[in-house]
Amino acid sequence: MRDPAAVKDAVKAALRKQEIELPSWAFGNSGTRFKVFSQPGVPRDPYEKADDAAQVHKYTGVAPSMAVHIPWDKVGDYTELAAHAASNGIRIGTVNANVFQDNDYKLGSVCNPDPRVRRKAVAHLLECVDVMDATGSPDLKLWFADGTNYPGQDDIRARQDRLADALHAVYQRLGPDQRMLLEYKLFEPSFYSTDVPDWGTSLLHCQALGPKAMVVVDTGHHAPGVNIEFIVMMLLRAGRLGGFDFNSRFYADDDLMAGAADPFQLFRIMHEVVRADALGRPAGVAFMLDQCHNIEPKIPAQIRSVMNVQEATAKALLVDTEVLGQAQLAGDVLAANAALMDAYNTDVRPLLAELRKERGLAPDPVAAYLASGYGEKIIAERQGGSPAGWDA
């Protein structure tokens, strides 16, 4: 029988080390192909995005970095941007390349049949490594919209050769402490073939490149019904899980708040992470949010999302692994399932509120943020200029 106080202390100790990275683009205007809704007080540049990201860290204590997306977060001096973030108590994290918004990329970027276009795309990826050097960011995250819309449109094998060549060129440029994170996605914006559609394709390319190439699991990038925690387990087992893009979805790549649509799935994923002892930084898994708050206020939504990941993690840390392990080995199906469900059905909100108080934070981060008046302040201050958004 476990000592409840010892269990609680162990869970709190692990949660204190948790770090969840925020996406700069979640603070800008976003939407769908039908409409990008504007919201008052939205940041107008990466400096203001970092200010907003710092608010999330201020109230949660577990969001010490903001991922940037180039050119959405292009600035004259990236070292200065990193210094500004640091003055707000956070750091610039993962650098996301963007080779999906230029007319030249209609038939693809690094997989494009036209070598001129491929060279242009590789040049951008290399520019992103320069940004990493300036900000001190360890990770380059690559997601390619590349694919085809009709069978026969292009030679899908030749496209893999082009992709491999481009990744190799960028891999060579990485510094000793830098990594490349290759994100896969089943479909969209391509609707027949996507050049990096699944974890197997990403893993094969990463293994061909070398130890600094890792796979990113975006929870919205799978076919309905896919057992994502199985993929997570396999990538951890292979030592190739570089990171997560957490969000949730009811249908496709909905980019909703993590845990909002399927908190049980997020718990099952975090159970595999905890089981592999991969929660802490030494394991090298970057826990990132990748979301768009199309209709809801963005900063409280980010705070809520971080809390959802914390809650799923706390529940995973509460799994009585001894009872679970014994039931599994005994083939006691119901006892094994019950061991997991007992943890999942535990209300961890009091434990998290207690932990926040112990860390000098408000027990309810959303309420504390809303009471701070920061939301009203930025609406009043951020007059003029052009609000950041996907098409910025």
CA geometry: angle at 225 spanning 298 and 255, to 5°?
15
Interacting stretch for Mn ion, rule CB under 5 A, among 13-21, 44-52, 290-298, 331-339? 290-298
Q: Could you tell me the smallest distance in angstroms from the CB atom of residue 289 to Mn ion? A: 9
Judged by CB under 5 A, the residue of 290, 294, 327, 388 near Mn ion is 290
Which SS3 state, helix, strand or coil, does residue 63 take? coil
Q: Could you tell me the smallest distance in angstroms from the CB atom of residue 188 to ligand LRH? A: 7
- Examine residue 185 and tell whether it contacts ligand LRH (CB under 6 A): yes
Judged by CB under 5 A, the residue of 245, 253, 272, 311 near Mn ion is 245
How many residues does this entry show for the chain? 392
DSSP 145-157: --EESSTTSS-HH
**73 or 183, CB closer to ligand LRH?**
183
Count of residues of this chain found to bind ligand LRH when the rule CB under 6 A is applied: 9
Q: Could you tell me the smallest distance in angstroms from the CB atom of residue 339 to Mn ion? A: 32
Nearest-angstrom CA–CA distance, 349 and 201? 39
Judged by CB under 6 A, the residue of 21, 146, 195, 218 near ligand LRH is 218
- Examine residue 245 and tell whether it contacts ligand LRH (CB under 6 A): yes
Residue closest to Mn ion when measured from CB atoms: 245
- Examine residue 195 and tell whether it contacts ligand LRH (CB under 6 A): no
Judged by CB under 6 A, the residue of 29, 65, 96, 190 near ligand LRH is 96
**14 or 252, CB closer to ligand LRH?**
252
Estimate to the nearest angstrom the gap between the alpha carbon of 325 and the chain centroid.
30
Interacting stretch for Mn ion, rule CB under 5 A, among 195-203, 242-250, 279-287, 332-340? 242-250
**E strand or H helix at 245, and its extent?**
strand 241-246
Give the CA-trace dihedral at 200, 202, 207, 211, to 10 degrees: -130
Q: What is the β-pairing status of strands 286-289 and 193-194?
A: unpaired
Query: Binding pattern to ligand LRH, positions 270-299, x when CB under 6 A?
Result: --------------------x---------
- Examine residue 21 and tell whether it contacts ligand LRH (CB under 6 A): no
DSSP 265-305: HHHHHHHHHHHTT--SGGGT-EEEE----SSS-HHHHHHHH
**96 or 308, CB closer to ligand LRH?**
96
Query: Binding pattern to ligand LRH, positions 98-137, x when CB under 6 A?
Result: ----------------------------------------
Contact partner at residue 253 from ligand LRH, Mn ion, none, CB < 5 to 8 Å by partner kind: ligand LRH
Residue closest to ligand LRH when measured from CB atoms: 143
Nearest-angstrom CA–CA distance, 184 and 186? 7
**262 or 332, CB closer to ligand LRH?**
262
Q: Give the contacts of 88 (CB within 8 A, at least 6 positions apart).
A: 50, 51, 53, 54
Residue 257 DSSP class:
P
How far, CA to CA in Å, does 303 sit from each of 90, 124, 273, 300, 392? 15, 32, 22, 5, 24
Cis peptide bond upstream of 71, omega within 30: yes
**221 or 298, CB closer to Mn ion?**
221
CA geometry: angle at 303 spanning 246 and 82, to 5°?
80
Judged by CB under 5 A, the residue of 73, 146, 154, 218 near Mn ion is 218
Interacting stretch for Mn ion, rule CB under 5 A, among 152-160, 212-220, 298-306, 328-336? 212-220
Nearest-angstrom CA–CA distance, 133 and 213? 17
**Count of other CB atoms within 10 angstroms of residue 37:** 12
**E strand or H helix at 172, and its extent?**
helix 156-173
Q: Could you tell me the smallest distance in angstroms from the CB atom of residue 25 to Mn ion? A: 10
Residue numbers at the binding site for Mn ion (CB under 5 A) = 218, 245, 290
Binding site for ligand LRH (CB under 6 A): 25, 96, 143, 183, 185, 218, 245, 253, 290
